[in-house]
Structure 1
């Protein structure tokens, strides 16, 4: 793909923060490092919004495995929540997301394992710091679960019921004559809703999940529901930390970053207005490195994430690497790497030189330079984003194919 001197799409609204643009304009009079720092501050802002999700339920219900699944971590990982049939959590344990430490999954003791009633339970463990609660059961929901939900509701917090280990139930039911997966899932869901109704909880949605096969059943629906219910400033935090195994999540992340491209393009054109040789190219490279690094981590295409994916899925790291096509995945994103990739694109060198030379053309030079810089930045960011989103989809396809094949062999 060649580097076009004109953005490919002009139909979206650009909503750049005037204060940030003004800060970059002011920084241009100083040095490249100051301008770069302003760009880094913007790029890091979205990944620092705090989000704290509380997970609770009785012992042996799969809370810890759910915490690990949510974070994309294998149960045997050094940073995993400890699992076991006994209650292993007697205090709040916080587990930050490995790529987005602002997103914390808190493992709470099961309410049935403490001596405190639901109202005191929430106060004891500091309910105010949690944005939402997920109540997990591997069977019917209990009276304690319902009491806890009512207390959470009184405090105007969101809560969700998750029925775990449905894959185990399905395997047990497969031995029966006339087995139907769809019918069994409907029966499990109906039984959960019925048990909640018996304890005074009406019309509750119950999400059926398998902590070891998150691509199946309702895990993606749960993610979508949580994101829908969160305040706007926390929706993006959850989205970025969500597993990229789901095509819908990959597409949402792609749209999120595509919107940011317009902001970064505006910054690029502002910096290009400074008639200082080398400033725009230097800042643009930093901008590209920062943005692409965010893409790589959000799509779990960095080396650490790919190794965690390999451990969790049983697919070897080398097999995952083999499906990648871009030169940006599974690499440290540096100016040298970005430059190498850019220079392999047809017409790239001409556009960069044209931007630098145009600055010194009387009257029209600065507007020309701004146009070149904005167009080049836009097209490169869009190209790199598309490349990495496609790699994320390849990883997703590989995992789902492997999991479905293993499932069919049971």
Structure 2
């Protein structure tokens, strides 16, 4: 049963195990180690495909950066990738997308390609194409599967196929759904011919990541990754769906007690405990803003991609933690949390009695920090959804114009 504070019984038990028979410095080391494990893992994603398929544009869209941004992968109509190059996510440097040399070129040798690019280095592969299915696609898919690695097949530039269909005047146009169904069936059929069982095919456009199968690709990757690598990918993803935003909130909420505990323990003996925790809480709240793509840099990046002004996007961010993040605001929120939830401190002290002893009275600060961070996650996720809806509306209007 969850406590009134919102801490589950499982979290209470975990806290008790960590706190049992340890002094504050030992507990702090253990809790900080638990938090570091969530951010220290590296995720390597390989993106392969024939020259001109839009691999670089896909990498930029996946990372949420504009094609002309300084950190963008180079795009062009000719082959721009001669050797593997890794592009880290702007806000999550431990997540890298690797633009691999194009297949279907004279230098491409199917039998040695994967070995040449370092097959074992990558966690999974994304095969990108934009035209007719080629033999090299299922050859690569077969070799990747034989190496017990996962791959996902992306049919890029489907907006171009739909536009071409709409321009046909000499024959009755098929519906968009019919065109997409044909494209998907063709890819799945050819992969099956290549002895690939249950192929995962995603139809998308790097120019409209909010549409088609881009959000579905995100969720599939999350579902099939595990542990800290799943967490790393999740926090790096642009907000293309409510599911991604809510998954971020849930993942970050799972570490709130460790964050509040580390914040509280690190302030032991440093003047006023309540005042001393503010800088660390500020750092955590800034990381939350980045995770939900709400910091100024992320909003500027989104503005350059969508054409929506930074000011219009910022107006969708209405929470205190999204817009008015300052030391004074954080300290004020802490004080409000203490006064509003004072009666819950006794319950927490009873549930985890050693906490009050170890932190030397910091239990009130812990409770206030926990409440503040939990509230911030709720408010920031709601801000993220408003910004996402704004972008989605503009994207639909552009596609229909």
TM over 0.5: yes
1:240 is displaced (CA, Å) by 0.8
Q: In structure 2, what is the equivalent of residue 173 of structure 1?
A: 165
Q: In structure 2, what is the equivalent of residue 317 of structure 1?
A: 310
| TM-score, scaled to structure 2 | 0.85
Alignment partner of 1:208 is 2:206? no
Give CA deviations for 1:39-90 in whole Å, capped at 9, x if unaligned.
7665444222100000000011110000000110001111111111211101
Q: Give 3-state SS (helix, strand or coil) of 1:100's partner.
A: coil
Number of aligned residue pairs: 387
Counterpart CA distance in 1 for 2:356 and 2:152 is 58
Match of 1:261 among 256, 262, 270: 256
**Structure 1 residues 17, 323: CA separation in 2 closer, same or farther (over 3 Å shift)?**
same
Give matches, 1:287-306, under 5 Å. Answer: 287-306=280-299
Counterpart CA distance in 2 for 1:194 and 1:166 is 18
Give CA deviations for 1:108-140 in whole Å, capped at 9, x if unaligned.
011222524223111111111100000010023
2:292, 2:384 within 8 Å by CA — same for their partners in 1?
Answer: yes
**Structure 1 residues 198, 181: CA separation in 2 closer, same or farther (over 3 Å shift)?**
same
Give matches, 1:49-64, under 5 Å. Answer: 49-64=41-56
Counterpart CA distance in 2 for 1:297 and 1:169 is 35
Alignment partner of 1:89 is 2:81? yes
Counterpart CA distance in 1 for 2:41 and 2:276 is 25
Q: Give 3-state SS (helix, strand or coil) of 1:133's partner.
A: strand
| TM-score, scaled to structure 1 | 0.84
Alignment partner of 1:397 is 2:379? no
Counterpart CA distance in 1 for 2:173 and 2:77 is 32
2:65, 2:301 within 8 Å by CA — same for their partners in 1?
Answer: yes
Q: In structure 2, what is the equivalent of residue 380 of structure 1?
A: 372
Counterpart CA distance in 1 for 2:356 and 2:140 is 66
Q: In structure 2, what is the equivalent of residue 307 of structure 1?
A: 300
RMSD: 3.4
Q: In structure 1, what is the equivalent of residue 352 of structure 2?
A: none
1:407 is displaced (CA, Å) by 2.0
Alignment partner of 1:27 is 2:25? yes
Q: In structure 2, what is the equivalent of residue 328 of structure 1?
A: 321
2:84, 2:117 within 8 Å by CA — same for their partners in 1?
Answer: yes
Extract unaligned runs of 5+ from structure 2. Answer: 350-354
1:16 is displaced (CA, Å) by 4.3
Deviates more, 1:376-385 or 1:99-108: 376-385
Deviates more, 1:46-55 or 1:172-181: 172-181
Q: In structure 2, what is the equivalent of residue 106 of structure 1?
A: 98
**Structure 1 residues 24, 268: CA separation in 2 closer, same or farther (over 3 Å shift)?**
farther
Counterpart CA distance in 1 for 2:23 and 2:241 is 40
Match of 1:9 among 6, 11, 16: 6
Give CA deviations for 1:250-274 in whole Å, capped at 9, x if unaligned.
00001111111233345567679x6
Q: Give 3-state SS (helix, strand or coil) of 2:255's partner.
A: helix
Q: In structure 2, what is the equivalent of residue 130 of structure 1?
A: 122
**Structure 1 residues 311, 23: CA separation in 2 closer, same or farther (over 3 Å shift)?**
farther
1:92, 1:125 within 8 Å by CA — same for their partners in 2?
Answer: yes
Alignment partner of 1:229 is 2:229? no
1:296, 1:388 within 8 Å by CA — same for their partners in 2?
Answer: yes
Counterpart CA distance in 2 for 1:218 and 1:338 is 39
